Structure 1
């Protein structure tokens, strides 16, 4: 990885936050759009040249920003891609937080799987990125860290609805199942091994239905 720089940006899952359903302020929307643009350009360059052969200067230039500005958004070139990986996970978290307490939480994800967004509305970039995680250890580490962070947030949301602590066994197990389903579904779709996995929302819906008995009610 490149050496860390001051002001490294973090994905929306960082700090246990999760996405908000309300429309964010214009400044935040612009920052989010810039992060996604950086991520897309980084993936394009990584896919073409590999991570090691791609410089931060090249990523910044492709995204139309200075290298100094790039380091305000990220602390390493591998972490440039994080927003592409957290986009849909943040959507799921926001949906779970807002779901009515008198309705089973599983319906929040199962019922809306068909409307889950592609990563930053750029499924091609997400597919390329997830494929790269198979051969690029630095990107694989980011992918696994994103899901580790998401699992902690899922446990918090589930525990709150169950009236338990996030450290209790039940919410942790439910969160692990949900997190695993989402990760495996995206990897299956990106790998293209499943002829029925041509569309990400369809693959997510199938995976969630398979795992439904282990998801929170």
Structure 2
């Protein structure tokens, strides 16, 4: 089986898993159920994914892979965010969040196992972003500034996706501008830095 065909099968499994999770709940869905819906054996299903929850992973990685590809294409002398805005990376041509993905992201807040997959996907993406930033700056991937920049971008994408998913909940009309405005809001908030904290003197104990 070609790699392209494998990816198609993985995506079909992911969409079927999300549909069943939405209809029956994660606890009410088994690997056998997912396989039966697809007309494949459960053994074949486990060749692709180790657990029923991990079946949803392909739907969560598409947007991050798209962003990584855009970052790699950025000319060396152009600031990353300037390039992303110019190329309309947050809107035109960006992967559509779509109802299956939106349903899935919303479920992560009530299903710990799905939240674990969501966070694992972003943890892996953060490492990829760090590699791209390090290559552009000549720094190491373990450099603190590189890790902070990768974490900010990664968190912006995660929170923006979550906000958009919840904004389109309950069958409400999709937000026309997509995820872009949410990403910009998160990045603008991060740029403001932390609020000023006043440290109160320690209380004296008698």
Smaller-chain TM-score bracket: 0.7 to 0.9
Q: Is the 8 A contact 1:41 1:63 kept in 2?
A: yes
- The structure with the larger Rg is 2
Say whether 1:113 aligns with 2:90.
Answer: yes
Matches within 5 A, 1:9-158: 27-110=2-85, 111-114=88-91, 115-118=93-96, 123-158=98-133
Residue 103 to residue 213, structure 1, CA distance change in 2 (3 Å): farther
Give TM-score, length-normalised by structure 2. Answer: 0.82
Q: Structure 1 CA distance, aligned partners of 2:70 and 2:188?
A: 17
Give TM-score, length-normalised by structure 1. Answer: 0.78
Match of 1:199 in 2: 175
SS of the equivalent of 2:2 reads helix
* Structure 2: gaps spanning 5 or more residues: 192-206
* Structure 1: gaps spanning 5 or more residues: 1-25
Q: Tell me which of the two structures has the higher relative contact order, counting C-alpha pairs closer than 8 angstroms and 6 or more residues apart.
A: 1
Moved more, 203-212 or 84-93: 203-212
**RMSD in angstroms over aligned alpha carbons?**
2.3
Q: Structure 1 CA distance, aligned partners of 2:22 and 2:125?
A: 26
Q: Is the 8 A contact 1:56 1:77 kept in 2?
A: yes
1:64-101 alpha-carbon deviations (Å, 9 max, x no partner): 32211111110000000000000110111111112221
